[in-house]
Amino acid sequence: QVQLVESGGGLVQPGGSLRLSCVASGSTSSIRIMGWYRLAPGKQRELIALINNSDGTNYADSVRGRFTVSRDTAKNTMYLQMNSLKPEDTAVYSCAAGHNVMDYWGKGTQVTVSL
| pLDDT tier, 19 (very low <50, low <70, confident <90, very high otherwise) | very high
Q: pLDDT-derived band of residue 115, with 50, 70 and 90 as boundaries?
A: very high
Dmax (CA) for the chain in angstroms is 42
**Mean of pLDDT values over 64-73:** 97
Say if CB 94 and CB 105 are below 8 A apart.
Answer: yes
